[in-house]
Chain A
Amino acid sequence: MLADTLQNIKRRANVWTKPLLKDRIFLVGAIIIGIMIFIAIFAPWISPYPAQGEGETVPNVCPAISPAGVCPPSFQHLFGTEQGGRDLLSRIFFGIRTSILVSFLVVMLAMGIGLAVGLTAGYFGGLVDEALMRITDIFLAIPHILLALNIVAILGPGLVDVFIALGATWWPAFARLARSQAVAIRNRPFVMIAKAIGAPNRHIVFKHILPNSISPLLVQMSIDLGAVVLAEAGLSFIGLGVRPPTADLGQMIFAAIDFITTSWWVALFPGLFLTLLVLGFNMIGDAVRDRFDPRLRRQF
């Protein structure tokens, strides 16, 4: 049943992918993200100092310049070092790893919750629909970062907690989309036929409604990835993100504030990579959305 659904989705996906590949913005974004994912996966192997990337501090790297170990770029350390003598480049690689890991997982979780809530609401309608949608509205009213902040404040910082907090923040948009899709599809002939021949609800939802609903959610997913990365970095900046010594781009930028006037590299490079990562995701999301937004009819 699941395999069937996946195959259906795949077939539909093929219809889109061809024209998308011609879009230059999509290509550039895809290349950037491709590189970033590569870095994320292979960080331990491609970092010049993997142990430092993971948090090991090194004493006396450049005692003359900085007792705290913040050293300017040099041959040994292409981007310099941050506090504790840790190689910045390696730290950045591991930071990218954290960002990508969290963002993908969060979006998956959010999409999962959103699909569950939205499809249920849309398919069953009535009171269930009303109740679920009101709850969704309330969650939608709270700005993402604030809600996540609240949750992490309660749960305490840490990777898992950040993951839960962000996932709990992003699902409403998916739920809304899933619901409107479900509502549109549940009245289609093929669904009614399935009901008439007595197919169980679960079967109908998985086999018929789900594959047809998935497209706008995938578009939304591509749009959200960048935002989630920023939110995660933002939380870390405030101090409520992943805990050190795990590398995190937002946290690195925060730590750089104390050294900003003397050591510009500690703030510049992490931020640069963070921006690039988000930009890559945004480019992909933008190209996907530009292609499939029904309002922007092709002028032909």
Chain B
Amino acid sequence: MNLATYVARRAALSVFVVLGVLIITFYLSHILPGNPALLFAGTNPSPQEIARITDQLGLKKPLYEQFFIYINGLLHGNLGESISLQAPVTTLLAEALPNSITLATLATLVAGAVGIPLGILASRSRNSLLDNILRIFSMGLVALPYFWLGLLLQLAFASGLHIFPIASYGGSLFFISQNNIPTITGSYLLDAILSGRFSAAAQILWSMVLPVITLAAFPTGVIIRQTRGAMLAVLNQDYIRTARAYGIPNNVIERKYALKNAISPVLVALALVFAGSLVGTVFIEYIFFLQPGLGFLIFQATGVGSTTTSLAGAPDYSLIQGVTIVITVAYVIMNFVADILQMLIDRRIKL
């Protein structure tokens, strides 16, 4: 099969998966115990409110019909209304995505830039002291909870040493409006750069340092391990032995021969790490108060720190559903991208 067929096949599979996810999120809210209307009605709804929602969502109709209504709405860009924020979910998501994507991209870049070299370093001498230190280091990174690391960094470098601002893009809630940053892409950082406001952009970037480091910690650990594993697997192969037998020096073997073979699983990992970072924004954006953002939305949707959440529909389910769909689509896309990249590198897969 050639490139076109393969791409088409993978695309079809991806669509199928997304459809499946939609079905699941839809049915979850309707199959699990409890009145679905309550999920969408907010805190302590009045009987009239419940009746209105029930009507609006067509909850009295048969299940599959409800699903069609839902999908229909989806295709028209209607993901429902967020109860807690009183705004259409689609609008909220569109607002939040660019910033979160910026964060996730930066975190992925950091993870790659730091993780890959360290992974290669570890693979050079298996079971040596350096290798073990790096292994433990990467395990430590992977064990760190996002939220804890974020708090610690905030404590140490922001409120403690005053190097970085404690929260918000640019350091204060009003930074963006004060500096008149226009909305071009929706991402504060990009917009500042694109509109030529470089000093503002610099400040925004500065305020993103701690969040990005926090977000990048876990992925960096993952990348180090993936790179190390992939390199070790490749270095054991016969063709590396051939290269050595012909006098190719070690550093060339590493850089050219081994790396090209080892890079595919690492690329796949990077793609997944990107999508995973989007999920990580849940913690980061709240702690560092970076709004608007996907994670921030989730936090608001679940009732911030509500230890008194009852089943009376306090979680803003349409918002949660919306974010879930967006992030899952992102995962599916990234998986797809990773597959294509793999194909381009290893020509064997085409056949």
Contacts and interface: CB of A to CB of B under 8 A. Distances in A.
Interface stretch (B139-147, B191-199, B342-350): B139-147
Nearest to B20: A138
B250 to A, nearest CB: 15
B299 interface: yes
Interface string B190-211: 0000000000000000000000
Contact of A25 (B32, B135, B154, B306): B135
Which residue among A156, A255, A257, A296 has the maximum number of chain B CB atoms within 10 Å of its CB?
A156
Interface string B119-142: 000000010000010011001101
Nearest to A140: B17
Contact of A150 (B276, B310, B320): B320
Given A153-B320, A154-B32, A230-B145, A137 B151 contact: no
B239 interface: no
Contacts of A154: 28-29, 32, 34, 39, 315, 317
A261 interface: yes
A295 interface: yes
B157 interface: no
Contacts of A244: 307
Interface string A150-176: 110111110000000000000000000
Interface residues of B, number: 65
A134 B324 contact: no
Contact of A153 (B151, B315, B335): B315
Interface residues of A, number: 58
Nearest to B295: A238
B78 interface: no
A271 interface: yes
Contacts of B282: 145, 234, 238
A254 B155 contact: no
B269 to A, nearest CB: 15
10 contacts: A141-B20, A142-B328, A143-B275, A150-B320, A154-B32, A154-B317, A240-B315, A257-B151, A260-B154, A268-B152
Interface stretch (B1-9, B48-56, B229-237): B229-237
Given A143-B276, A234-B146, A297-B236, A267 B17 contact: no
A286 B136 CA distance: 10
Interface string A206-249: 00000000000000000000100010011001111001100000
B306 A233 contact: no
A56 interface: no
Interface in A50-96: none
A141 B309 contact: no
Which residue among B147, B306, B307, B315 has the maximum number of chain A CB atoms within 10 Å of its CB?
B147
Interface of B: 16-18, 20-21, 24-25, 28-29, 32-34, 39, 126, 132, 135-136, 139-140, 142-148, 151-152, 154-155, 159, 225, 229, 232-233, 236, 275-276, 279, 282-283, 287, 298-299, 301-307, 309-311, 315, 317, 320-321, 323-324, 327-328, 331-332, 335
A226 B139 CA distance: 10
A286 B139 contact: yes
Contacts of B29: 154
B139 A257 contact: no
A155 B38 CA distance: 12
Contacts of A270: 148
Contact of A146 (B132, B279, B306): B279
B324 A149 contact: yes
